Amino acid sequence: MIVEYVSFVIMSTVILTLCWFFVMRSHASVSYAQSLAGAPETHLTTLDNGLRVASEETGHATCTVGLWINAGSRYESEKNNGVGFFLEHMAFKGTKKHTQTALEQQVESMGAHLSAYTSREHTAYYMKTLAKDLPKAVELLSEVVQSCSLNEAEIEQQRGVVLRELEEIEGNSQEVCLDLLHATAFQGTPLGQSVLGPSKNARTLTRQDLVDYINSHYKAPRMVLSAAGGVNHEELVGLAKSHFSGVSFEYEGDAVPVLSPCRFTGSEIRMRDDALPLAHIAIAVEGASASSPDIVPLMVANSIIGSYDLTYGGGKNLSSRLAHLVAEENLCHSFQAFHSSYCDTGLLGIYFVVDKHNIEDMMHLCQNAWMNLCTAVTESDVARGKNALKASLVGQLNGTTPICDDIGRHTLNYGRRIPLAEWDARIDAVTPKMVRDICSKYIYDKCPAVAGVGPVEQLPDYNRMRSAMYWLRF
């Protein structure tokens, strides 16, 4: 009797386990497709003054709302470079309605997080808060953007803060290296300017410089009010009409700022410092613009090269060919393939951190990896790159803040938010021949831009690196 009971229990357990396995298996087999098909729609409305309102409702108890603006260091001149970054520091130091203390108390009482960032082409002010506090969040954001007090005493205080930040950035070799890469690749153009600007500008920028920058660039058609989380689009549109209808869409004297084209120049820049323990090197060619159809195959190509860090597991078993060789020979501390895309150009490159004795070998392997993309990429390489890219795109949208940022930037770049399902279809359409052809178009026999920081004595001569962009193909 006991044996029969035990057998019954075992059999029941096995049946339940199998049922659970097949249910989970069936769910897993369609979970990715279901997640794409079931992604909330992004709603977009344009106000009479040209300001766009875009939102995605997820039903969460929290939300992120913010204002994304087509303004950044690319819109600055050599004289006022850094003004956008300086203004970012001033944004939360009080408005005409709220002092800094009152503004901070308002945000704290909501349990919210208020932040901002400035890039080469965009500026964003955003707040993460409870969904029920959306109206208050939009009101505070409208004050921050439209009626920042720009108190003279506060400007002098923030001047010191900005200068300290500039000193800290100088100690970040990665930031310095990538800024130098832009400076040499886009020399003589606004894209070559740093987002933070030089210290001499931070010391001399005036209140009038900040006011002029706002009046020139903070225009309604160049703004997107973006939100994600527990938000209702119609409610958000109503709030936008209440708080942002007064944002001007006219330019003084019809002086509409027009971006000058940014010319790419194959060149190099070296900041040698033998006291640093490691060399930071970046090599790049001119990449595709944000709206170019070539951008997806280049994203797949970058995923094939991948990234590496000494702390990664896997070692010699890593699927990336470059990562496998680096781990096997212990050639560098880390590397990362990157593609910085702008409205009309881009930088396609590899950044790596390396011991001074391995610089030449690492540079050779990076350029060889590029040539392999042009000539020898296989079906399995592309399939792996596609999977890695899809996982990266989905993983980056983990939370209301990255979703809100994605909506804001996409609306500025493309005039709409590109859904994940569309990205997925465009990635699936990439073939090995497409990768080879497009990589040849951007990489083969092109003059690279190279930046090196640290003990870079063994960085090869530029002409050798330039010739490798041709000879490594054979």
194 and 326 share one domain: no
In this structure, the answer to whether residues 318 and 456 fall within a common structural domain is yes
Whether 234 and 288 map to the same domain: the answer is: no
CB neighbours of 336 closer than 8 A, spacing ≥ 6?
307, 350, 351, 352
Task: Give pLDDT tens digits for 200-226.
Answer: 999 999 999 999 999 989 999 999 999
Q: What was the pLDDT predicted at 254?
A: 60
In degrees rounded to 5, what are phi and psi of residue 454? Answer: 110, -150
Q: Residues of the chain whose pLDDT is less than 50? A: 1-30
pLDDT score at 418: 93
Distance CA 349, CA 339 (A): 6
Contact 240, 146 (CB under 8 A): no
Q: What percentage of the chain's residues is helix, strand, coil (to nearest 5)?
A: 55, 20, 30
Alpha carbon distance 163, 198 (integer Å): 9
**Domain holding 114: CATH number?**
3.30.830.10
Please indicate, yes or no, if residue 9 is contained in any of the structural domains. Answer: no
Q: What pLDDT is stored for residue 96 in this prediction?
A: 87
Same domain, 242 and 272: no
Please give the Cα distance from 374 to 368 (Å, whole number): 10
For residue 258, what pLDDT is reported? 74
Residues 313 and 455 in one domain: yes
**Per-residue pLDDT at 347:** 97
> In the structure encoding, which two tokens stand for residue 341, read together?
């895309």
Positions marked active-site: 88
Average pLDDT, the chain: 89
Residue 416 domain boundaries: 267-471
Strand duo 223-229 + 52-57: pairing: parallel
* Counted domains in the chain: 2
